[in-house]
Structure 1
């Protein structure tokens, strides 16, 4: 009895000390039963899900390692009641996940599951429902939870049930705790960084600058500026009109993004659905191929000439501010054959990223600003017009260069469709091989070995621009070649996100640990290895179904210096919180959670998820801790850290503190 009381005091004291910490529990469950007709009833299971979190379908994704599906277990028997069919769930369209290469069905906000039953014996009937589930948001996944409910037919609403705690449970709970030192020095709260739209704005701006150098836009600059400065009654008015013209160009491209904001507000997932839709990606592939060969000069693509004629007529007849607007709209229509492919790239890239419609607006804004600036600047400083190079064959060279770029981007869209449908057409090495051919073709063109229909006579002396860019193309080919190999150099970090993922490969990538590293799957074994080697510990709380865990392993750990430090300077212990392998009967126990209630520790995942919560006041993955074999923290634990430099500095800091 004294032993039991001592253990109880230890556990209650520990729980009280961490009760103030915030543990994530983003799903609230409500279970009730409703009578239908005769002896038939419905068990209604409602999940209320916090904003930003996803609960997964009962249907497992068609992939070896995927999200944890939701499961329902009932205590039905031939003497009490029987299930009528399976448990139904809301009809939600799947969303492709590029990490798992699978279409994933998940629920947001709320989901109602229905299980019809036929009651055989009402007397004393108690219905028990067990829910097993896991949830994720955009940055982390929580370990799977199991909750029990029981109700009588007359009760209507179920009550959550918990198991009873025994002295053995309390003892095993205490054993799960380590004497972690340095908790006060190194806070364990996760820091979140806000996403910036500056990058997409700058990319759009660069796209606009490229569009300025095309034959559709460049000749328009001196003509339009001269028109405004010479046709106005005074210089000041001409200057104002030119600036207004530039503002309208900027505004028109901003307006092009507004419909996507409407779509995004109606359904936050719709832009992601559009970007991963197989049909649309194939259509984009075809369109980009058509644009590429148009840039090569085999045919011309323009919007109907009647459109530009009508806009030009309105600009002439109306005049004033409205007339200037129609002049800007005319430029947008006339230049479409050159700007369309660039805008298409911007559209496809923005919709497939997390920022959605807002990123598209920033990208369009940058593009429109780059197009508009010359008209305003040259109106302010008309003498600058004399410094512009004359139109000529170099404009056609720019178009052909864009054609090769469009050709490479076309296969990116085909790759998206290939990943979704698992066709296996564009494995990573094949995709990179196609890009090598595109870069080689562009280099050979710039050096004059390949000619296209609109190219003039071959010059005896190549322009310096051709030599410089052609040389860069061959350097790019050299950079791509390791991507064809099955080595650590195949990652091509500068192109992350463009080629298919590393595991979508012609080579067999199967390993027992991330990137072939040696990783202990048991905490005690890893600690023993750290003591024997005299190395610090890198504790990795991860999950088989954790998307961002895979991102960290493939995009950050794969960095040469980071890989070397983890492999040589640390003992890696990877604890999978969603591993459903059963513990032995002697290892199973019930754990009293700090937030109340009891959690059954029946699987390896249960054990490590609870271990993380107990010792680090955190229940999200990925989560990384650096410490020595005596459990002294070496620095502040971190979660999802996509910045490789930041993660490398974190590893180096832990190593330096360990040496001290």
Structure 2
């Protein structure tokens, strides 16, 4: 047997969720089915709040037997699921980690009862996902006389047991050739891939921090810096006292915006923020809101708070003294500058809320206010810097117009979410890209001084060097987007543009044929005399899409696969029914394979002793291992080496 081990996912069966199911009679004829999931560290199990049409398989319970029993209410969990926005699906996903207890209440209508069901669930970590799994349970008992036949069931499917006692092979009823390609392979010597942790909090903080610096450059904020710092320096009895006042002023700005973020969280709550981010209606509102902000920045109108608010804060600052006076001065700045900072804050809060994290708005506002506060403190410490700081002028209006174009481009992202949810197909990928190309081309022409908005006066053909280079960046970005109209991956903006499957015209797709049936693909490989590249994937596998975009769609990788391999792509969550259900023995239990997804998941478990996706192996047409396994790793040279190893061993 030709076997070549390669650094990737260790050849092991992943069992990240262990279930314990018990029946608890709480009061006479009332009881609960208590389902406890112990989740392996680093993994998360998707909750029952996940939309099954959007992404991973949500938690559910199919009740196969309810004799003498009536269910009361819905499934309830002992803790709230974590919610996080996923760019790949354009919606929020929710999951649990560590341990969660799910309960289903019921009433027994007679002395004797019987309850049986199947828990369906899926789980992922930062690199892999397991296919949809099933855990069955059954209880019988007596409502009033005591439970004489009530037993606790435990999901005990550890990897060692699976390896020591292989599954009953569905290939037993097939031909010898088919049975051969189902034979388990040996993965001795392989290494396990490393985990990587990511977080959205740093993304929110950095994004809002940059937004705060951009807000500094607007005509509502920048002129206030020298005025405020000069006020503190003149008012203070000593320079040390003036610097201290400026620090307090900066801290007051941070406190005000931080309170704003906390207020939004308190008003809406984490669950409501999740609803905002996933609701198509709310995303339409966000789209319209950002368009209004963009029009405001273009000079059509100003978004202002009532002037009486600013006047009241200003008079309050004059009447008070000490720290309170400085705080009200900071509040006055916040209100006066709202016409410029309001649209920026609104955009950043929408982006922070779209993560679904309860701390997102607070973290975002902290980053934004920190960027606003830093200049006041620095200029108070080093007042000589004020002499070299740029003076107020028309360049600040340019900043507002540039922000208007950016707001307009970002608004399409939210409209795209609603378009995908409702299936309108009015903003498919090429339409989205066409609008972006127009927006950034117009931005480049504006920066070159080819036109201006009437509110800001006539166009100025004479521009500075910095503005010239900005126009080059904008026009170059527009040109970069053009190949996307014909299906180019555009990995640099893949998180913003609609998915590639919405593309109507794609010259880049369909480079090689992919078989979706294992036996059919292996027969084709034998006929063509080529090795087999097998891709275990899933419709709800986020990391599978990332690998496709970052590695498999790379032109060199695609060409290598097209020229040298027969490709078999098996979706472990495929819902298409098998012509005839197949029964296998797995870990001492009879398991019925009802769908093609069940079958391909079983193939991965039986032949490769693994059940996480993405998962890649190279076989010969007889089903013997040539290279792999390879899991989630966006290192193209390593993936290329994995393919080359398979080709080299096949040539032997």
Bucket of the pairwise TM-score, normalised by the shorter protein = 0.7 to 0.9
Q: 1:347: how far off?
A: 1.8
Aligned residue for 2:365? 364
> Is structure 2 residue 580 aligned with structure 1 residue 576?
no
Distance 1:555 1:337, change over 3 A: farther
The equivalences for 1:151-550 within 5 A come to 151-152=139-140, 154=142, 155=147, 157=150, 169=168, 176-181=182-187, 183-184=188-189, 186-188=190-192, 191-195=195-199, 197-259=201-263, 267=270, 269-353=271-355, 356-459=357-460, 461-485=462-486, 487=487, 489=488, 491-507=489-505, 517-523=512-518, 537-550=532-545
Aligned residue for 1:133? 120
Separation in 2 of the partners of 1:391 and 1:286?
31
Aligned residue for 1:652? 640
Unaligned segments of structure 2, at least 5 residues? 1-9, 156-164, 173-178
Choose between structure 1 and 2 for higher RCO, CA contacts under 8 A separated by at least 6 residues: 2
Distance 1:448 1:35, change over 3 A: same
Aligned residue for 1:610? 602
Separation in 2 of the partners of 1:28 and 1:159?
7
Separation in 2 of the partners of 1:598 and 1:250?
61
Separation in 2 of the partners of 1:251 and 1:377?
18
Query: Secondary structure at the residue paired with 1:308?
Result: helix
Q: 1:636: how far off?
A: 6.1
Distance 1:288 1:370, change over 3 A: same
Separation in 1 of the partners of 2:337 and 2:471?
27
User: Is the CA contact 1:190–1:638 (under 8 Å) kept in the aligned structure 2?
Assistant: no
User: Is the CA contact 1:200–1:359 (under 8 Å) kept in the aligned structure 2?
Assistant: yes
Separation in 2 of the partners of 1:516 and 1:29?
48
Separation in 2 of the partners of 1:377 and 1:151?
70
TM-score (norm 1): 0.77
User: Is the CA contact 1:60–1:69 (under 8 Å) kept in the aligned structure 2?
Assistant: no
Query: Secondary structure at the residue paired with 1:574?
Result: strand
Separation in 2 of the partners of 1:598 and 1:622?
27
User: Is the CA contact 1:26–1:49 (under 8 Å) kept in the aligned structure 2?
Assistant: yes
Q: 1:226: how far off?
A: 1.0
Aligned residue for 1:11? none
Q: 1:471: how far off?
A: 3.0
Aligned residue for 2:161? none
Q: Deviations over 1:175-205 (max 9, x none)?
A: 7542324x33x22366242437444433222
Distance 1:368 1:160, change over 3 A: closer
Q: Deviations over 1:624-655 (max 9, x none)?
A: 3456778557466324x5xx4x3x13302324
User: Is the CA contact 2:32–2:103 (under 8 Å) kept in the aligned structure 1?
Assistant: yes
Instruction: Tell me how many residue pairs correspond in the alignment.
Output: 607
Query: Secondary structure at the residue paired with 2:613?
Result: coil
User: Is the CA contact 1:49–1:110 (under 8 Å) kept in the aligned structure 2?
Assistant: yes
Q: 1:508: how far off?
A: 8.4
CA RMSD, 1 decimal: 4.5
Q: 1:408: how far off?
A: 1.9
Q: 1:370: how far off?
A: 2.0
Query: Secondary structure at the residue paired with 2:484?
Result: helix
Distance 1:541 1:168, change over 3 A: closer
Separation in 2 of the partners of 1:427 and 1:500?
7
Distance 1:324 1:651, change over 3 A: same
Distance 1:567 1:376, change over 3 A: farther
Separation in 1 of the partners of 2:201 and 2:498?
24
Q: Deviations over 1:528-576 (max 9, x none)?
A: 7667777665432223443443444356533434433443455433233
Separation in 2 of the partners of 1:33 and 1:603?
36
Q: Deviations over 1:64-84 (max 9, x none)?
A: x974784636469xxxx7999
Query: Secondary structure at the residue paired with 1:503?
Result: helix
Separation in 2 of the partners of 1:101 and 1:314?
46
> Is structure 2 residue 62 aligned with structure 1 residue 72?
yes
Query: Secondary structure at the residue paired with 1:454?
Result: helix
Query: Secondary structure at the residue paired with 2:392?
Result: coil
Q: 1:150: how far off?
A: 4.4
Q: 1:233: how far off?
A: 0.7
**Aligned partner (choices 585, 589, 593) of residue 591 of structure 1:** 585
The equivalences for 1:113-132 within 5 A come to 127=114, 129-131=116-118
Unaligned segments of structure 1, at least 5 residues? 1-17
Which is further off, 240-249 or 152-161?
Answer: 152-161
Aligned residue for 2:553? 558
Separation in 1 of the partners of 2:391 and 2:593?
76
Choose between structure 1 and 2: higher strand proportion. 2
Q: 1:151: how far off?
A: 4.4
Separation in 1 of the partners of 2:105 and 2:512?
44
Aligned residue for 1:638? 631
Separation in 2 of the partners of 1:559 and 1:508?
15
Distance 1:291 1:144, change over 3 A: closer
Q: 1:527: how far off?
A: 5.8
Aligned residue for 2:7? none
Q: 1:523: how far off?
A: 4.7
Distance 1:54 1:143, change over 3 A: same
TM-score (norm 2): 0.78
Q: 1:336: how far off?
A: 1.5
Aligned residue for 1:14? none
Q: 1:455: how far off?
A: 1.9
User: Is the CA contact 2:254–2:370 (under 8 Å) kept in the aligned structure 1?
Assistant: yes
Separation in 2 of the partners of 1:581 and 1:460?
62
Query: Secondary structure at the residue paired with 1:53?
Result: strand
